[in-house]
Structure 1
């Protein structure tokens, strides 16, 4: 099997690092920044993607064979440019779906039981101050879970919510015919109006960018919970801030943001009914290994001259084969 020159935008699981190193020359970016990726990815034949890839990398690297996403979302890869250049793009869908789903359920439980406020006041003001929030806590069981997007993550959320908490699960998705049996398909308006907890796990597209703005937030139930494990730009941040400050929403768990890292001093840091996490909903030791193993599988196939299993741009194949005949 010919050796590959492999470049990763981030460090990976140790077992994955060993497996990729066995396939050829393996290097990791000194920082996951556009500048470092652009400067340090020279002569790469395969790039493992966990950070946005500058289009210049694809245009510059004549020997680049493939971009393999360490995860599912493709917004970090300029797929159209890769396709035109004859560069294969693959991903690892579903490998961290249960991880993201567990994060969403944990976030919902914490917000309903007012954990951010309890934790703050218990530490700062003592036992009685923390305990005073208990009477306003709410249970997850029996409530309506709304899911925007019923892909791998949405299905795992639905499974846990329905089977574990006896929740009614509703969803709005592009493919309502593929809905799990326990999930009711609804319109977008119905999703907003009837969800006690609304989880965003849709891809970022032209249609979903800014979808959750002032009008959508105003349509949600008074005191509802919003959880975003999709992409930051799906939500209009200023509108969400206003909805939280006004009390329209009961709380929010936000894992993804317009600007990442989230700038110090951002207004979200001052809101008491918000859980903030640094784009880590899909990251655990187990999920990192599963996603990495998927990357290794695709890298081996590419090294052997085969196409990846999870190829997302088949239109690139003819050009790819012409380049590496």
Structure 2
């Protein structure tokens, strides 16, 4: 009997090779449409998902579904409650994109504090005089506040400390007090926001983290501070951020994620000169895409082979199998 794995969106060949070498048949699409997904998933035992949403009404169309594996880290598009209740294992790829996202974060931080977007546009327009008007700041000795001290947040902190000589503050609601990374002073979120020259956000999007940086938090930040967000758009109050950028309370922001994606045409953020925008692609290096595809595929192969996956995003009761 053929065991099928649905791959709703294109992935790197490395992931497909892992699945096929394990004797699994792949059904490859390029869609996020719920109706198409419901039709395609019906006879599948696994799903390797990128950004396609997998709500209960899609998952329930596959009575033999055993595993959903996330191509990346965030699980907010997967109905993990349904999976838990129906014995469907959920795996992800938390070690695949850490380096790439951390590097993207450092890149955004450097670009916005040096006004690179503004001076690039001026130079292209023939305005060489921008060199005497658009000054950046040095990061050396400045304070970086890291909200979320998981793999990515820790690596960003390390690179900022060793590469730029920055002072580090860290906030994490779940990490034990004695488990903070080297060189990071753990503190309350309020202290971090009020004391940091740059704040970078690295928390998963959950009901508890929605607008973890809210309007009051943004206004409590230093005047002329900077914000970087490479986690999820909903972790920052976007409307309040726009206001703080418009009136100059914040000097700038580097954003890879947004509350609505794709970013709608004519969105207020696109009209702001003090914002650098990238299209939710912090994890999209060639190396990370290969790792994400392969690691997500390995999770499916493990579960369907009766083995505990290397990167489980769940831990259901022993012996709980699909009905």
* SS of corresponding position for 2:83: helix
* SS of corresponding position for 2:320: helix
Deviations 1:245-300 (A, max 9, x none): 00011111111111111111101000001111111011110001111221232222
Shift of 1:206: 2.0
Question: In 2 relative to 1, CA 184–65 (structure 1 residues): closer, same or farther, beyond 3 Å?
Answer: same
Deviations 1:290-325 (A, max 9, x none): 1122123222212322232222222255331x64xx
Aligned equivalents of 2:64 and 2:133: distance in 1? Answer: 60
Does the aligned pair in 1 maintain the 2:231–2:257 contact within 8 Å?
Answer: yes
Q: Which residue of 2 aligns with 1:199?
A: 200
User: Does residue 160 in structure 1 map to residue 164 in structure 2?
Assistant: no
Question: In 2 relative to 1, CA 255–36 (structure 1 residues): closer, same or farther, beyond 3 Å?
Answer: farther
Deviations 1:155-176 (A, max 9, x none): 1101100111111111100213
* SS of corresponding position for 1:280: coil
Q: Which residue of 2 aligns with 1:139?
A: 138
Q: Which residue of 2 aligns with 1:246?
A: 247
Q: Runs of 4+ in structure 1 displaced over 3 angstroms?
A: 33-36
* SS of corresponding position for 2:265: coil
The more displaced of 188-197 and 136-145 is 136-145
Question: In 2 relative to 1, CA 169–178 (structure 1 residues): closer, same or farther, beyond 3 Å?
Answer: same
* SS of corresponding position for 2:153: helix
Instruction: Report the RMSD for the aligned CA atoms in angstroms.
Output: 1.6
Shift of 1:75: 1.0
Deviations 1:129-174 (A, max 9, x none): 432344x211122211110000010011011001111111111002
Q: Which residue of 2 aligns with 1:37?
A: 37
* SS of corresponding position for 2:112: helix
User: Does residue 14 in structure 1 map to residue 16 in structure 2?
Assistant: no
Does the aligned pair in 1 maintain the 2:230–2:255 contact within 8 Å?
Answer: yes
Deviations 1:187-220 (A, max 9, x none): 1111101111100011112221122222111100
Aligned equivalents of 1:133 and 1:231: distance in 2? Answer: 33
Does the aligned pair in 1 maintain the 2:38–2:59 contact within 8 Å?
Answer: no
Aligned equivalents of 1:92 and 1:145: distance in 2? Answer: 27
Whichever structure has more helix as a proportion of its residues is 1
Aligned equivalents of 1:91 and 1:264: distance in 2? Answer: 32
Q: Which residue of 2 aligns with 1:78?
A: 79
Shift of 1:27: 1.9
Aligned equivalents of 1:35 and 1:167: distance in 2? Answer: 49
Does the aligned pair in 2 maintain the 1:8–1:47 contact within 8 Å?
Answer: yes
Does the aligned pair in 2 maintain the 1:5–1:46 contact within 8 Å?
Answer: yes
Aligned equivalents of 2:256 and 2:114: distance in 1? Answer: 19
* SS of corresponding position for 1:251: strand
Does the aligned pair in 1 maintain the 2:68–2:91 contact within 8 Å?
Answer: yes
Ranges in structure 1 where 5+ consecutive residues have no aligned partner:
none
Ranges in structure 2 where 5+ consecutive residues have no aligned partner:
none
